[in-house]
Amino acid sequence: MNLTDKINQLKELKSELYKKDFLLTWEKSDEDLKMVLEVADILKEMRSQNISPRVFDTGLAISNFRDNSTRTRFSYASAANLLGLAVQDLDEQKSQIAHGETVRETANMISFLSDFIGIRDDMFLGEGNKYMREVGDALDEGFAKGVLPERPGIVNLQCDQDHPTQSMADLLHLQKEYGSLENLKGKKIVMSWAYSPSYGKPLSVPQGIIGLMSRFGMDIELAYPEGYDLIPEIVDMAGKNAKASGGSFKVSHDMKEAMKGADIVYPKSWAPFHIMQERTKLLQAGDKAGLDALEQTCLANNAKYKDWEYDHDKMKVTKNEDALYMHCLPADISGVSCKEGEVNADVFEKYRIKTYHEAGFKPYIIAAMMFTNKFQNPAATLKQIMDSQKKRVLY
């Protein structure tokens, strides 16, 4: 299908993304999700055909990372630049936030000429998504009172509940691998805990995967050692989603058994729900000694499950001994990035380039979230871009 056909097909989708923040995938309709996927695919194809999709002449995309990042940070900057926006990092230590400036005030002060604010806040369970909504409320007031010329859109770049730019990039990767979303029906995907020599990894990636993939008729198995639970409400929601979409959802506690017959595997470490609750309280209290003690306890507990590594033995029980391996990266690779980790080095190397392709969809997913927030009729705007035939590079 050529670009013109793809844009014409886009007209059939009726989404409600216009002027709406993108905070959780489970707040969006199926049509919304499909719109983001299709716009991302079109933007990617435009770039490959040397067509410039710059729809902004000026404007800022504010980047607010309250935790470390490589892929998502650069994906956000790439997405903003692709559409013509400049990126400005908000460094809280170099701003008046460090001196007690309120969220309400900061949100308005950074937004006079801003079109988007991308936020990563995944450290504090129960607080990250809440913070994004607090920023949104402040922007609503600023726009309503005439302080801001327009209300910037917010993109969730990872919170305590969900990592929507990651899970949507993963979904687009699967759509490309299997040819369509419809072809995902009946495919078995295993979202499995895996051993890591570190603690405190967020819950948002596994929660994002089960929360999204359960919408498309897949057979999902969530595997983890006893005690490494996710947020219960999100697990319950995934089960209901799977039933409604004609798929299935199962929780198990044996990694190799879970991998049997899997089409897709996603071995990824995370911290137990109850540990993240305790960690959040210690972080909020500034209790360094308590945090150090908790870390040692958790690392010792993790070490009981070093056999939860995705290796050749587990790969052999997957479908055709060759399930599609996925990871949000960076993976803890045994013998490479750590002594013992989430995945065997040879197994990871087999799928390494595939994981790079997987990550490569993220800039376009973020750009599509921005695009559909800004333009009420994405198909019409994309057609204008096609008609202009403006080159990205003048060869």
Q: Cα–Cα distance between 193 and 44 in angstroms, integer?
A: 32
113 phi, psi to nearest 5 deg: -125, 30
- Give the rounded percent of residues in the chain with a pLDDT score beyond 70: 98
pLDDT per residue as tens digits for the range 178-190: 999 999 999 999 9
Whether 315 and 347 have beta carbons less than 8 Å apart is answered as yes
Average pLDDT over residues 281-299: 94
Helices 71-83/362-374 angle, 10° precision: 50
Considering only CA atoms, give the Rg of the chain.
Answer: 21
Examine residue 393 and state whether it is found in any structural domain, yes or no: no
Average pLDDT over residues 251-276: 97
Is the preceding peptide bond at 330 cis, omega within 30 degrees of 0?
yes
Instruction: Spell out the residues 6+ positions from residue 374 whose beta carbon is closer than 8 angstroms to its own.
Output: 18, 55, 115, 153
Examine residue 395 and state whether it is found in any structural domain, yes or no: no
pLDDT per residue as tens digits for the range 31-86: 999 999 999 999 999 999 999 999 999 999 999 998 888 999 999 999 999 999 99
pLDDT per residue as tens digits for the range 48-61: 999 999 999 999 99
Instruction: State whether 307 and 371 are in the same domain.
Output: no
Instruction: State whether 153 and 201 are in the same domain.
Output: no
Instruction: State whether 228 and 331 are in the same domain.
Output: yes
- In this prediction, residue 101 carries a pLDDT of 84
Instruction: State whether 256 and 351 are in the same domain.
Output: yes
Q: Cα–Cα distance between 89 and 22 in angstroms, integer?
A: 19
Examine residue 351 and state whether it is found in any structural domain, yes or no: yes
Judge whether residue 20 has pLDDT over 80: yes
Q: Cα–Cα distance between 119 and 165 in angstroms, integer?
A: 11
User: If you write DSSP's letter for every residue of 311-332 in order, what string do you get?
Assistant: -HHHHTTSGGG-PEE--SS---
- CA 102 to centroid of chain Cα atoms: 27
- In this prediction, residue 234 carries a pLDDT of 98
Examine residue 21 and state whether it is found in any structural domain, yes or no: yes
Instruction: Spell out the residues 6+ positions from residue 216 whose beta carbon is closer than 8 angstroms to its own.
Output: 171, 181, 184, 185, 245, 247
Q: Where are the alpha helices (DSSP H) in the chain?
A: 3-10, 30-48, 71-83, 103-109, 128-144, 164-178, 204-213, 232-245, 255-259, 273-285, 288-302, 312-315, 345-360, 362-374, 378-388
Band (pLDDT 50/70/90 cuts) for residue 116 is very high
352 DSSP 8-state letter:
H
Residue tagged 């035939």 (tokens): 389
Two tokens, residue 343: 């995945």
Whether 50 and 391 have beta carbons less than 8 Å apart is answered as yes
Average pLDDT over residues 307-316: 98
Instruction: State whether 298 and 206 are in the same domain.
Output: yes
Domain extent, residue 110, equals 3-162+362-388
Instruction: State whether 157 and 206 are in the same domain.
Output: no
- In this prediction, residue 269 carries a pLDDT of 98
| Polymer length of the chain | 395
Band (pLDDT 50/70/90 cuts) for residue 98 is low
Closest by Cα among 269, 40, 304, 287 to 172: 40
Examine residue 299 and state whether it is found in any structural domain, yes or no: yes
Whether 152 and 115 have beta carbons less than 8 Å apart is answered as yes
Instruction: State whether 212 and 355 are in the same domain.
Output: yes
Instruction: State whether 313 and 352 are in the same domain.
Output: yes
Average pLDDT over residues 229-255: 98
Is the preceding peptide bond at 164 cis, omega within 30 degrees of 0?
no
Examine residue 67 and state whether it is found in any structural domain, yes or no: yes
**Mean of the per-residue pLDDT values of the chain:** 96
Band (pLDDT 50/70/90 cuts) for residue 99 is low
- In this prediction, residue 223 carries a pLDDT of 98
- Look up residue 9 and give its amino acid: Q
Instruction: State whether 11 and 89 are in the same domain.
Output: yes
Instruction: State whether 236 and 348 are in the same domain.
Output: yes
Whether 270 and 205 have beta carbons less than 8 Å apart is answered as yes
Helices 204-213/164-178 angle, 10° precision: 50
Examine residue 330 and state whether it is found in any structural domain, yes or no: yes
| Structural domains counted in the chain | 2
Examine residue 394 and state whether it is found in any structural domain, yes or no: no
Question: CATH number for the domain including 240?
Answer: 3.40.50.1370
Instruction: State whether 264 and 139 are in the same domain.
Output: no
Q: How many CB atoms neighbour CB 235 within 10 A?
A: 18
- In this prediction, residue 91 carries a pLDDT of 82
Cα angle, residue 91 at apex, residues 293 and 368 outer, rounded to 5°: 105
Whether 140 and 86 have beta carbons less than 8 Å apart is answered as no
Instruction: State whether 107 and 202 are in the same domain.
Output: no
Judge whether residue 150 has pLDDT over 70: yes
Band (pLDDT 50/70/90 cuts) for residue 94 is low
Average pLDDT over residues 319-338: 97
